[in-house]
Structure 1
Amino acid sequence: MIDVHTRMPVAVLSLNPAVDITYEIPQLVADQKVHALASRYDPGGNGINVGRALKRLDAQACTFCVVAGEIGRFLRHQLDAQLDQVSYLEVKGETRINGTILENLTGAQFEVSGVGPEVSTRQWEDLLDRFVTHCSNGLGIITGSLQPDLPRDLYAQAVRRLRAAGGQAVVDSHDELLRNAIDAQPFLIKPNRFELENLTGQPLRNLQDIVREARHLQERGATWV
């Protein structure tokens, strides 16, 4: 069990970060150009968002992330200004761009998620080595989407390696990535209700249902749900 009174090494793994672009528009019109009322650019991806949140909480953490191309250089510029400690892995290609459109007329939000650059086995294993080394005997947060070519048990591998090094793994993911990671016995997972329903294959209509299925996940290996 982790001693919460001890300052421990904390690391965040983000294999597919992004630059998030948000446009506020009056209304989407098919086949016509729409001029934005406002726009903004933010560093994105779940892992990056966790790193930014830890910074606001005054928690000392290092974010390990993949960057590529000109978009990657722009992302690095943003992260260097917003995070205290970042370890980068540079690969070929381009860091992904995620787009969000906020439509004032209806209040609807439209989101498009980019793909991200290819990462070789040697490259992601190198980043994982650095991540585990940093947070051995500490806390490692494993979250965010993966590029399509990366193995679906990568998060499970990260959990096992971190546990073997004496650390504790927090996994925030969904579907197959989370399902595999649970079998590797992470310290904590945080599925929302929709993600929990996907894991169990059944609707969870009340708190009793949710607690029952959370207990089942603990029996499978997750210490905290």
Structure 2
Amino acid sequence: MIYTITANPSIDYVLQLKDLTTGKVNRTTSDVKLPGGKGINVSRILKELNIDSTALGFVGGSTGEMFKSLLSQHELKTDFTNVHEDTRINVKINAIEQDEETEINGTGPAISNEEKTSFLKQLESVGTGDVVIMSGSLPKKLPDTFYLDIAKMIQENGADFVIDTTGQALLDTLPLHPLVVKPNHHELAELFNTTFNSDQEIIDHARKLLDKGAKHVLVSMAGDGALLVTKDHAYKANAPKGVVINSVGAGDSMIAGFAGTFMKNNDPIESFHIGAACGSATAFSQDIAVKEKIDEVYKAISISELS
């Protein structure tokens, strides 16, 4: 089973307008409320791929009830921990003529020790053959090591894990051998205080993450495609042609496609192909990509071996 953890889920209130003028009254051309959170995005893509998952996280208050109502239409398996304070609301503003996206994210509820303990008890049964995918920000009062502590706990029980994070927090997870890490090329360069002038330089530095313990490294490069780096080989996926409508969730989709497929077939190349298709398909969609769009984009992606 795949478990996705969204410690700080949200209602994403997405507004579209022609242009945004601060300090003035702005009127939208459309708006939609979506169940948000990086782990939720992962579970939604897994659902499109017909891969079972259970979504975990902290949900509370009247906004938490609305969140669960919005999520119910996606027919995901969930096992949320109920908390006293309200689930947050994030506002995302797309100014079409300005070609700008503005986000205003809430902080989320404060999690009590009792609520944290209740959540962690859910993970006691996770073990060999399971994968836990952790991503997104942490709500108030949870320690910065929350995801890392979970990784240590489930690893002792034989489960694999993925933590979608960057910087030192990413480096701290590597000795625990995450199934896959996915920095973009800018984040990878920042890890090593350098810049890249070629794919080979990116590959060389991705292998440093493998040397530190990662099992696979995905590097997204926006319009230049993506790389998969393993101990012995490196592969590149081209960037398919399409209009980027919404970049939110593209990285989550790529992780879902890779981890979910790899859990089924243990084939890193096919997992990379599907992961790249999921990421691009979501970028080309108003919301998280549906299966038909993923299949369409999959046909436009080719995987080539670089080394």
Q: Tell me, yes or no, whether TM beats 0.5.
A: yes
Identity over aligned residues, as a percent? 26
Mapped pair 1:80 → 2:72? yes
Which of 195, 198, 202 matches 2:190? 198
The verdict on how the C-alpha distance between 1:194 and 1:108 changes in structure 2, with shifts beyond 3 A counting, is: same
Mapped pair 1:163 → 2:149? no
Is contact 1:79–1:86 with CA below 8 Å preserved after alignment? no
Show the counterpart of 2:88. 96
- 1:12-161 matched pairs, under 5 angstroms: 12-134=4-126, 136-161=128-153
Deviation at 1:201, TM superposition (A): 2.6
Structure 1: gaps (5+ residues):
1-8
Of the structure 1 ranges 135-144 and 90-99, higher mean CA displacement relative to structure 2 is found in 135-144
Is contact 2:11–2:36 with CA below 8 Å preserved after alignment? yes
| Counterpart-to-counterpart distance in 2, 1:136 and 1:20 | 34
Show the counterpart of 1:175. 167
Please give the per-residue CA displacement for 1:80-132, whole angstroms capped at 9, x wherever unaligned.
22133100111122111111111122121111222111113442343233135
Runs of 4+ residues over 6 Å off in structure 1 = none
Number of corresponding residues:
217
The verdict on how the C-alpha distance between 1:123 and 1:165 changes in structure 2, with shifts beyond 3 A counting, is: same
| Counterpart-to-counterpart distance in 1, 2:99 and 2:179 | 38
Deviation at 1:134, TM superposition (A): 4.0
The verdict on how the C-alpha distance between 1:160 and 1:206 changes in structure 2, with shifts beyond 3 A counting, is: same
Cα-Cα RMSD: 1.7
The verdict on how the C-alpha distance between 1:178 and 1:29 changes in structure 2, with shifts beyond 3 A counting, is: same
Which of 203, 219, 223 matches 1:211? 203
Of the structure 1 ranges 144-153 and 10-19, higher mean CA displacement relative to structure 2 is found in 144-153
Is contact 2:132–2:159 with CA below 8 Å preserved after alignment? yes
Of the structure 1 ranges 215-224 and 178-187, higher mean CA displacement relative to structure 2 is found in 178-187
The verdict on how the C-alpha distance between 1:30 and 1:198 changes in structure 2, with shifts beyond 3 A counting, is: same
TM-score (norm. length: structure 2): 0.66
For 1:133, what is the secondary structure of its paired residue?
coil
| Counterpart-to-counterpart distance in 2, 1:181 and 1:126 | 24
Deviation at 1:17, TM superposition (A): 0.7
For 2:67, what is the secondary structure of its paired residue?
helix
| Counterpart-to-counterpart distance in 2, 1:192 and 1:222 | 15
Is contact 1:132–1:140 with CA below 8 Å preserved after alignment? no
| Counterpart-to-counterpart distance in 2, 1:123 and 1:197 | 38
| Counterpart-to-counterpart distance in 2, 1:185 and 1:156 | 12
TM-score (norm. length: structure 1): 0.89
Higher RCO, Cα 8 Å, sep 6+: 1
Is contact 2:55–2:76 with CA below 8 Å preserved after alignment? no
Deviation at 1:25, TM superposition (A): 1.0
| Counterpart-to-counterpart distance in 2, 1:125 and 1:190 | 29
